[in-house]
Structure 1
Amino acid sequence: MLDDEAVTEAVARLAAGLGERVGELTADLLELYSAELPNLVHDDETVVSLLSASLFQNLDTAMRIFQHDIDPHRVEAPAAAMEYARRLAQRGTPVIDLIRAYYLGQSAILNQALAEGRRQVHDPELLGAMMQRALTGAFVFIDRITRQVVSAYQEERDRWLLNRSAVRAARVRELLRGVGTESAVIEAALGYRLRGLHLAMIVWHAVEPSQGNALGSLESVTAAVAEGLPVTGQPLLVPADERCAWVWFPVERAVLPDEDHVQRVLAKAEPTVRLVLGDPGDGIEGFRRSHRQAERVHTLAVTAGEQCERALTFRDVGAIALMTSDLAATRSWVGDILGELATDDEQHERLRETLLVFLATGCSYTAAAAKLTMHKNSVQYRVRKAEEALGRTVADNRLDVELALKVCQRLGTAVLVTP
């Protein structure tokens, strides 16, 4: 049986041998990145120099860990590695490239370690134990360092977005207030064309995201939504705060993204992400109007809380959104129109749902039954019970009843009466 101390000493000798070649190994990794991650090495000279320093310091740290039997759980990422991560964040380089660089490097260095081990050691059992030790230690080291540099990347990305956007955010707020009419000057400040059609979106995290990279994830969602639109340029994204962003898409035609596309985008995003869209508008006034519409729908979504759908459009809920500016008055109106039917319990919720579908299908019991996958007689029963709760037939005030039911569907407990 191999002595643990003998394995430790053999690993130390192996690390010492590789440690003498850190400069050479750094050059090898740069060549590897040139083939696998060319955007990292075909960049500004100062950034590539920082990448080289990061590689050198990481390699040197790793070799010292094995040479002196240091616990990799206690190692901190080298200064150059942290700064390189921050620099990539500032330049908008995807964080996945940073992560991939570390794991490509880990694989390449382990291959070098195996080759060096075969040169130094001729006992297969000892070599196997050495490589097992090296593999375990390398994984712990890379996992710890990667978590640290990704955290630095995410923090810098949020800070950079906020700082970079501060001037643009001020100009956008002025524009929304109607201050400034020189479109050429505003366009130069924003880096965004104000002529043409604009579709406004508000995208936000309903609660603090688990990953901590709030604005970065909102950027990704924005880019994904843009793929489903006939855009004529890059969207304008302005952080409203640390968890919310205002967005404008320059679009060729007055269309909204396909609902299925939006749902696919949200399915891939963090579950905390929500978005709302205004209607497309032309020119500066359209820029403002589309955003005002998105703001109204945003207010509705926040008021509705967790039960609200993750994506809403002004086109679908505009009338309801306009009612959320005075929630107390809306709640009172819903109570006046629906009476007992506005009670917040499961029984009345079923009645409201059935009645809304009944009205939406042209008061057809057969069509409503098909949509609800219920028997026609069950629909008739529920509609009769709903009318009893209303205190009148739905035909007496159909438009108001239907609107009040939709308000209940969207705002839920915010406008319902506690039993």
Structure 2
Amino acid sequence: MNLQIKTPIWTGDVDSKSDIIRSTGIVGSLRWWTETLLRGMCEFACDPTDNSRCPDGGNYCSSCLIFGATGRRRLFRIEINGGEKISFPGNGAINIKPSGRSHGWFFEPGVVGNLEMKMIPLDEKFDEVLVLTPLIIASNWGGIGAKTQLGYGVVEITNPPNVSFENFKRVLRNLSQKGKRQKSNEPGFPNLKDMFFAKVRFKANGNCWEKIDGLIDKSSKSRLEKEIRKKGIEECFRNNFLPIAPVIKNWLRYDDGSQIWKPKNGTTKGIENWLFGTIRNICPKCYNIVNPQNENGKTVYECQNCGQKFKKEEIINKCASKINISCAYKIGNDLWEIRIWGWIPKDAPQNFPREEFLDKLKKVLQTGIAGFLGNSTSDHKLAVWREYASKRDTIKEEQNFDNFVESLLRGTDDVS
């Protein structure tokens, strides 16, 4: 199976570099997509990083039956060949820093080009549909690998195989007839029923990046720094993508776009950490910052907002962003596309107005993206919005989950 990389793939290594594609990074992201699908099916999928992970009395959840866990081997391995590292000048990273920001986002080189992927069975029960189903959904609507929230990981499967969700369910049933772990999913984990997928398209004239604030360097006084930055962006442009995810993220988190999600009471920090992610230690109740304190010789963490105290294993030491934004990537002679997708659970904290937020986000993607893409772009439009059992879905308000998954696999993505 061949994959064309639309935006660089990042899989990382011990030195935090991504010079080649590492199959473990791809398998990890495919597991994530499989878990979201299983939870949408009301199948239990454990958190493999948590103390409650499989096995449980020798039983495994459906995800661990496929991808392995302690005491159980993965059903397959993946061989990946091809791709090449994109090269940036200078220190090897581009600092995307929109106006008014003291710090930016560093976009590091990943792998671009074309990949050949082979799935090698390690068990007679393995069927490729178990991996192809999440892979096709990810390639049609999201991304694979790491750092998808910063624009990495959009791929296109060349001549994708015909895969049906009904076949996926049949193989899964046969796989899990014995030893399947029966448990209800806990809230707080990604579920396909709570996800949204949007694609925004625009036309670009010439070197459109020269008009996008954040890609051009307005703040640096060094001519050398500006030249290094320019050459880095030009290299991205030559590879048919532009790293504008930080530009959109900045607009949504700090600029005018923040009006979409900011609570009316003005208290934003907890919601901000939950929605956009943070690497700081935060409260599992209200998502505000917690600080370590010594209490009778033991370290406890007290929330700055709600005042509750927690043990180290109870706090959240890293919170992933609920929203992923791709790089802009070329899909035609002068036509470009951006993916914005994510997971906004219905049991969001602090009474977060999920429906209102998604309504506003869809509306602004329909009408308001031209402001930060510069006047060298035109014909901006929301090409498609997909969401299970929602009037916002521009293809069909699908109440049947199986039919919804089938439509994601088909990849229908334009209502025009």
After TM superposition, the score normalised by the length of structure 1 is 0.18
Tell me: higher relative CO, structure 1 or 2? Use CA pairs within 8 A at least 6 residues apart: 2
> Which structure carries more strand by proportion?
2
Larger radius of gyration: 1
> Which structure carries more helix by proportion?
1
